[in-house]
Amino acid sequence: MNIIIVGGGKIGTTILKNLVSEGHNVTAIDSNPEVIKEISNTYDVMCVCGNGVDWETLTEAEVESTQLLIAVTGSDEFNMLCCFMAKQMGVPNTIARIRNPEYNDQSLGFIKQTLGISFAINPDQLAAKELFNLLQLPGAESVETFSRKNFEMVELLLKADSPLNGLSLSEMKKKYQASYLVGAVGRENEVIIPNGSFVMQSGDRLGITAASSEVERLFRMLGTMQERARNAMIIGASRTAYYLAKMLLKSGCAVTIIEKNKEICESFAELLPEAVVICGDGAREELLLEEGLGSMDAFVTLTGIDEENILLSYQALSRGVKKVIAKINREEFTEMATKLGLDCTISPRSLISDVLTRYARALENSMGSKIETLYKLMDGNAEAAEFLVGKDFSHCRIPLKDLKLKKNILVAGILRGRKVIIPAGSDCILPEDRVVILSAGKVLSDLSDILE
């Protein structure tokens, strides 16, 4: 598919990298010659230096043969106008990054309809939702929720004292009886789709699918269940911090926000009157201790500097905070964070890239199923894809044991109405089901892709 990306910043280049790896023909537009030069030297894509709302620039980028335009510059209004121009020039699908909280659901719906924007995406809101999910289930390293909301995939890191060390999956199933499936295991740099004889060991990352209630039940049996955060400290008053604080306050969690900028503090105090907003340097340990760091259930670092987020998170861990999460944008810092004991990190770039990768795959799909949700797992080495099964899917009503699945593919869940099915060999896929597929080393655009 031919795709234009307007905006070559951090998020734009991350999206570009993923879409190129998916096999799409990507053209990058940016007004900064240095940005265009760097993209051209790094990726095998067409590059155009110019204004993304300029007719000549879009024509040079071959907009007339483009199926999708993604505008992710730093300006919401520029992104909207860019999508409007592209729509007028014949692009059937447009996506705009819109971050300003002032564009609420009602006004955003009107803007999308008026300007012909197919999809609006807010990386700050996505990151806040991911953080909120992690704080709702503190024992997990990541929590991915599928479209019916009551089905999740969580990643659990096996520590040295885990009762699962040395157990096979079949032994685990007998010992811890709940409705769940260990569908993927990350071991060092490898992702394994395991069978019942697979033996777990310390350091493994387990990808577990189950209904939300069953995940909590399993965690309680394993002794890894922690109570949801009753108080949380957030360092850095960013847009993500605003969205997260709103969610936490609504859930009954007390929130303390620390920010250096006085004007931003005043704005946050007005927008979030229920939160405690402190104007000060979050890097000062005495300030953190004074504001109750040692008694916090959760600590989240959302400054714009990865290194600062990592060091502050390490400091919170050393003070005994149960759940510590750091925002890290640069992939190369994730391994450093893990070595310091920070098992829980998020990357807004990766979140938005996953969403747009799913969207691009859905546009190409025409084979009897529709991709609804897509998550990259195990540091990007595996995927969990949710498909809505169409009536013309040719393998409906065939027991799963009789389907010839490709290697490293697993049917991890079937969502039938409100019912969650952890599939066994005798279960069948039916029209209108939502089916969750785990895959390692394979790109799935359609449910038929799982079959030999």
Q: What is the pLDDT of residue 104?
A: 67
Q: What is the pLDDT of residue 362?
A: 76
Q: What is the pLDDT of residue 366?
A: 46
The two structure tokens encoding residue 98: 């819109």
Q: What is the pLDDT of residue 225?
A: 73
CATH of domain 141-222: 3.30.70.1450
Domain boundaries, the chain: 2-121, 141-222, 231-321, 354-450
Report which of 348, 338, 389 is spatially closest to residue 155, judged by C-alpha positions: 338
Tell me which H or E stretch contains 129.
Answer: helix 123-136
Question: What is the C-alpha separation between 236 and 200, in angstroms, rounded?
Answer: 38
Q: What is the dihedral of CA 347, 16, 119, 303, to 10 degrees?
A: 30
- The DSSP annotation for 31-49 comes to S-HHHHHHHHHHSSSEEEE
Report which of 278, 289, 279 is spatially closest to residue 312, judged by C-alpha positions: 289
Q: Is domain 354-450 classified as CATH 3.30.499.10?
A: no
Q: What is the pLDDT of residue 367?
A: 43
Q: What is the pLDDT of residue 368?
A: 47
Superfamily name and number for 2-121:
NAD(P)-binding Rossmann-like Domain (3.40.50.720)
Q: What is the pLDDT of residue 392?
A: 79
Domain 231-321, architecture per CATH: 3-Layer(aba) Sandwich (3.40)
pLDDT tens for each residue of 211-226: 988 988 898 898 877 7
Identical fold, 2-121 and 141-222: no
Low-confidence stretches of the chain (pLDDT < 70) are: 104-105, 147-148, 365-369
